[in-house]
Amino acid sequence: MIRLEEVTKVYPDGTEAVRGVTLQVAKGEFCVLLGPSGCGKTTTLKMINRLIPLSSGRITVDGVDIYKVDPNDLRRGIGYAIQEIGLFPHMTVGENIATVPRLLRWPKERIRRRVEELLELVGLVPPEEFSKKYPAELSGGQRQRVGVARALGADPPILLMDEPFGAIDPITRERLQDEFLRIQAEIKKTIVFVTHDINEAVKLGDRIALMREGRLVQYATPAELLAHPKDGFVRDFVGADRTLKALRLLRVREVMEEKPPTVEASKPLAEARERLERLGVNFLPVVDREGRFLGWLNRTNLRPEGRVAEVMTPYSVLATPDTPLNEALSLMFESAVGNLAVVDGEGRLRGLLTFRRLHEVLRESYREEGQG
Amino acid sequence: MAEAWQFLLRRPDLLSGWTLQHLYIILVANGISLIIAVALGIWITGRGREKIADVVLYLSDIIMTIPSLAMFGFLMPLFAALGLKSYGFGVAVTALVLYGLLPVIRNTYTAIKEVDPAVVEAGRGMGMSELQILTRIKLPLATPVIMAGLRNAVVINIGIAAIAAMIGAGGLGVPIFRGLRNLRMDLIITGAVALTLLAWAADGLLGLLERWLTPEGLKRARKR
Amino acid sequence: MRRRIVFLVLLGTFIGLAIWITGIGKLGIYSTFTGQDLLRETGVHLKYVGLGELIAIVVGVSLGVVVSRPWAQRTRLSTVVVGAAGMGQCIPSMALIALMAPILGFGLWAVVVALFVYGLLPILRNTYAGFRSIDPAIIEAAQGMGMSRGQIVRRIELPLARPVIMAGIRTSTVVNVGTAALAVLVGGAGLGRIILTGVLSRQPLITLQGAAPTAALAIVLDFLLDALEDRLTPKGLKVKKSQA
């Protein structure tokens, strides 16, 4: 557990980088320090491993004041990853990852096993091959993985990360974030993570500490922060496209049209045409006798003779009631008909997600924001 | 040329003697100079020593601009005033130590200053002591550049040591100087050719050493 | 500022020493050189350096321009020339000037040719490096605007490469002040004559009488060429430098 009590940093020239920040990160919790550049988030982070000395206040790790231990011993027990990565260019990937274990004088065999384990964890396989490479021979994404593996070197209970995915292209960044979430689910570290990217914060953090001008403005879960921003600054920072971010927090079940009209696959096409015309729609979901979703019937494919099963378009994408809304939105763009079928675990059609419904949800939240 | 060849056949012992003497002077001078220069180069990279660094670098710059013959001219009366032998080996080595400083100080300083700050921060953040950061990160990364400075210094000093023969330090300058004063072409050519070959050989060998001491990871980085 | 102070203190010391020793007059059975001697040898010294440098600049810059042309790169001419210049720079000045005597005889020619060859190499190297460091996009832009090859060299490449070329000329000149001190060995004169007289007669003060003005000459030329280098740097390049 990490505790910051009234932590303050004043530089010799008088600038106050951090003023009276108090917060607590529980064991196994993922805390994101979020804010615009110059808000003191990086300074706060670096005070935890004493790269920047405190001016006043107190920081404890598992109840021990960090100024009661040797700074090098403290740092060897805390993983540290930064945006510039800072891999040692003259050492192999394996040697880089082994840095802290070597400082701690682990036996050789144990270090070797640990390096392999970590390379596998961050997906650099086969480990024997990657371990012998030099940083210059890796891509940016691979280097950042090595950076994360190196931070985890001696299996520290705490990780400090300063925009570790900041300098990577958006697609690779998304992937690294996903992977990192998977890794975190496995290793359960206590993490303090700095970013200025609200999307990243919402995606990764259990709790977000929003900072401004050296002060802690709000410390809350992502949902709370988005739903109840504490003041104008938080609202501004969370941004104009806050609704899009809020989509992350909504599930399909909350907005889908339940029990939508369907057509059975075994019905003759003439009956289907009548139904389409009566409902005034161009598409209908096709289901079997048990209500399992099979595909879409498109009005333009109708023929005078035959059955629905012969002309229907099999589905390509599906959502479940628990799919986050932002993912559902991108799935809808892939869907042939622009609507998304929502099915349960048995494949039964539970509802439909339509653009019209989504649009309504978005409009509602815009209106709320305008009033707030 | 033929005369030089004949001289060589007649007195190979003389040439090898001069060459060894020359090498000995260089070894002593550049050895001392390397230690001082690397230590000084590292020291002036320290925090808060920017002004000292500026002065040190400028002073060693100035030393390089002073012609070697003039440097001997300064050191001889100085040695005399201090009651030391104002002639020969001592004066020569002192001058060569001074000339050997600049290339190594400058390269050490620049190379260490140019180590990526992120790499140093990563090391510190993982709990390396300042000494460990120096010996495990900064120095290995700076070695190729320091070696390039040493190579430069040695080549320069091989030339200056030849001039030091005028003040009685011995070495390959002896046959050149003697030949020029007595119009002995064979001596001039023997000395000048041997001196040039020595400089080329030192340049080539130190170049190899430089490459050999370059960490593998940096070589691969350069290839990209 | 700090540098200017160091420079002035050193220059003052050197000149002061020379004047002081000249004023002593008698040193046991030897007498020091007169002020007139000193001025004359300084003049000769400067003449050697000037002549050698002048030829070296003309030849070095032209050759540098030639070997930096694309066809020279393609035919590997530049690799050969620059490699040879590198080897040449390793040749000790003493060896070079001594070898001139058997070839050209003792006297002015041996000195000037040695200084020319020795001064040529840094200029050639820097000219080549200066031209090579120019962003190809700039040349392409100039071509695109319809500049002829000669115009590109004169209006674009030379101004951009000038600071680097000037640095080469400065190095070359300072080195040659030292090499010119060896002229006395091959039948020349100059300040080296005074130093050598002191060495041979084992009179450290007479050695110093020659050494002090030689050193003064070197640091003054270094200082002046540094200032010139600064003035000849295009303003646009300086802005970039100060921001970096």
pLDDT by residue for chain A (372 residues), tens digit each? 899 999 999 988 888 899 999 999 999 999 999 988 888 999 999 999 999 999 999 999 999 999 999 999 999 999 999 988 899 999 999 999 999 999 999 999 999 999 999 999 888 989 999 999 999 999 988 999 999 999 999 999 999 999 998 878 878 888 888 889 888 988 899 999 999 888 888 889 999 999 988 999 999 988 788 777 787 777 777 665 555 666 777 788 888 888 888 888 888 888 888 888 888 787 888 998 888 888 888 877 788 888 888 888 887 778 888 888 777 776 776 665 667 889 888 888 888 887 777 767 766 665 555 543
Is A278 in a helix, a strand, or coil? helix
pLDDT at residue C136, as a whole number:
85
Q: Can you give the pLDDT at residue B204?
A: 94
Please indicate if any CB of chain A lies within 8 Å of the CB of B122.
Answer: yes
Partner-chain contact B215 A90, CB within 8 Å: yes
**B191 contacts in C (CB within 8 Å)?**
95, 98
Q: Indicate the residue of A76, A136, A160 with minimum beta-carbon distance to B221.
A: A136
Q: How confident is the model at residue C241 (pLDDT cuts 50, 70, 90)?
A: very low
The answer to whether the Cβ–Cβ distance between C95 and B200 falls below 8 Å is: no
Residue A371 is predicted with a pLDDT of 47
Model confidence band, residue C102 (pLDDT cutoffs 50, 70, 90)? confident
Q: In what order do the strands lie in the sheet with A56-61?
A: A16-25, A2-10, A56-61, A64-65
Contact C195 B69 (CB under 8 A): yes
Provide the domain count of chain B.
1
pLDDT digits (tens, 9 = 90+) for B15-27: 889 999 999 999 9
Give the range among A141-145, A201-205, B3-7, C209-213 with minimum mean pLDDT.
B3-7
CB-based contacts of C15-23 (< 8 A; 24+ apart in sequence): C15/C212, C15/C213, C15/C216, C17/C208, C17/C209, C17/C212, C18/C209, C18/C212, C18/C213, C18/C216, C21/C205, C21/C206, C21/C208, C21/C209, C21/C212, C22/C209
- Tell me, what's the pLDDT at A363? 63
| CA separation for the pair B189, C87 (Å, rounded) | 18
Residue range B176-201: mean pLDDT, rounded: 91
Residue B207 has a pLDDT of: 94
Distance from CA of A337 to the nearest CA of B (A): 48
Q: State the nearest Cα–Cα gap between A230 and chain B, in angstroms.
A: 34
Q: Which of B125, B126, B141 sits opposite A90 (nearest CB)?
A: B141
CB contact under 8 A, C95 and B67: no
Which stretches does DSSP call E strand in A190-300? 190-195, 207-212, 215-220, 257-258, 263-264, 283-287, 293-298
- What residues in chain A have their Cβ under 8 A from chain B's Cβ atoms? 49, 51, 71-77, 80, 82, 84-92, 99-100, 103, 134-137, 147, 150-151, 153, 160
Contact at CB, B69 and C211, closer than 8 angstroms = yes
Beta-carbon-side half-sphere exposure of residue B121 (alpha carbons within 13 Å): 18
CB-CB under 8 Å, A89 with B119: yes
More confident residue, A170 or B170: B170
| Residue C171 CB coordination number (10 Å) | 20
The token duo for C52 is 């050698």
B196/B193 Cα distance (integer angstroms): 5
In chain C, what is the greatest distance between 2 CA atoms, to the nearest angstrom? 75
Residues of chain A with CATH 3.40.50.300: 2-249
* CATH 3.10.580.10 boundaries in chain A: 252-361
| A312 DSSP 8-state letter | P
Contacts of B158 in chain C (CB under 8 A): 92
Beta bridge partner(s), residue A215: A212
Is the Cα torsion angle A188, A190, A194, A198 positive or negative in sign?
positive
pLDDT of C24 over the 50 cut: yes
Contact C96 B192 (CB under 8 A): yes
**B1 domain residue, yes or no:** no
Q: Between C1 and B47, where is the model more confident?
A: B47
pLDDT tens, B109-156? 999 999 999 999 999 999 999 999 999 999 999 999 999 999 999 999
pLDDT over 80 at C141, yes or no: yes
Closest partner CB to C98 (pick from B74, B77, B188)? B188
Query: Does B120 contact chain A (CB < 8 Å)?
Result: yes
Predicted confidence at residue B13, as pLDDT, reads: 82
Q: Mark yes or no for CB contact C199/B199 under 8 Å.
A: no
Please state, rounded to an integer, the average pLDDT across all residues of chain B. Answer: 91
Pick the more confident residue, C2 or B131.
Answer: B131
Q: What is the C-alpha separation between A111 and A93, in angstroms, rounded?
A: 13
Domain edges within chain C? 2-233
Domain assignment present for B220: no
Say if B127 is an interface residue toward chain A (CB within 8 Å).
yes
- Residue B195 domain boundaries: 16-215
Q: What is the pLDDT of residue C166?
A: 93
Q: How many CB pairs under 8 A join A and B?
A: 88
The torsion angles phi and psi of A169, rounded to 5 degrees, stand at -60, 150
* pLDDT of the residue at A99: 93
Q: pLDDT tens for residues C40-57?
A: 999 999 999 999 999 999
State how far the Cα of C224 lies from the Cα of C20, in Å rounded to an integer. Answer: 25
Query: Is a pLDDT exceeding 70 seen at residue B224?
Result: no
pLDDT of B7 strictly over 90: no
For residue A359, which phi and psi values (nearest 5 degrees)?
-60, -40
Q: Which of A90, A93, A139 to mutate to test the interface with B (most CBs of B within 10 A)?
A: A90
Q: Which residues of chain C approach chain B closer than 8 Å at the C-beta?
A: 2-3, 6-7, 10, 87, 90-96, 98-99, 101-102, 174, 177-179, 181-182, 185-186, 191-192, 195-196, 198-199, 202, 204-205, 207-208, 210-212, 214-215, 218-219, 222
3-state secondary structure chain C: CHHHHHHHHHHHHHHHHHHHHHHHCEECCEECCCHHHHHHHHHHHHHHHHHHHHHHHHHHHHHHHHHCCHHHHHCCHHHHHHHHHHHHHHCCHHHHHHHHHHHHCCCHHHHHHHHHHHHHHHHHHHHHHHHHCCCHHHHHHHHHCCCCHHHHHHHHHHHHHHHHHHHHHHHHHHHHHHHHCCHHHHCCCCHHHHHHHHHHCCCHHHHHHHHHHHHHHHHHHHHHHHHHHHHHCCHHHHHHHHHC
What is the pLDDT, as a whole number, of residue C243? 43
Cβ-defined contact of B137 to A88 (cutoff 8 Å): yes
| Contact list, A90 vs chain B (CB under 8 Å) | 140-141, 215-218
Q: Would the CA dihedral through B70, C170, B153, B158 be positive or negative? A: negative
Fold held by A252-361: CBS-domain (3.10.580)
Listed as own residue / partner, the contacts of A306-311 with beta carbons closer than 8 Å and 24 or more positions apart are A306/A268, A306/A269, A307/A265, A307/A266, A307/A267, A307/A268, A307/A269, A308/A263, A308/A264, A308/A265, A308/A266, A308/A267, A308/A268, A308/A269, A308/A272, A309/A265, A309/A266, A310/A269, A311/A269
Check: CB of residue B162 under 8 Å from CB of residue B22. Answer: yes
Please name the residue that has the structure tokens 């101004």: C159
Q: Which residues pair with A34 in a beta bridge?
A: A195, A210
C2/B180 touch (CB, cutoff 8 Å), yes or no: no
pLDDT of residue B208: 95
Q: For position B50, which CATH number holds?
A: 1.10.3720.10
Q: Inspect the interface and report whether the beta carbons of B127 and A73 lie closer than 8 Å.
A: yes
Task: State residue C242's pLDDT score.
Answer: 45
Report the distance separating Cα C180 and Cα B163, nearest Å: 13
Answer yes or no: is B4 within a domain: no
- C2-233 topology per CATH: MetI-like fold (1.10.3720)
Query: In this complex, how many residue pairs, one in chain B and one in chain C, have their CB atoms less than 8 Å apart?
Result: 138
pLDDT in tens, B75-106: 988 998 898 888 889 999 999 999 999 999 99
| B-chain residue closest to C198, CA distance | B73
- Does some domain include residue B201? yes
Average pLDDT over residues B177-200: 91
Q: Regarding the domain delimited by A2-249, which CATH topology (the fold level of the hierarchy) does it fall under?
A: Rossmann fold (3.40.50)
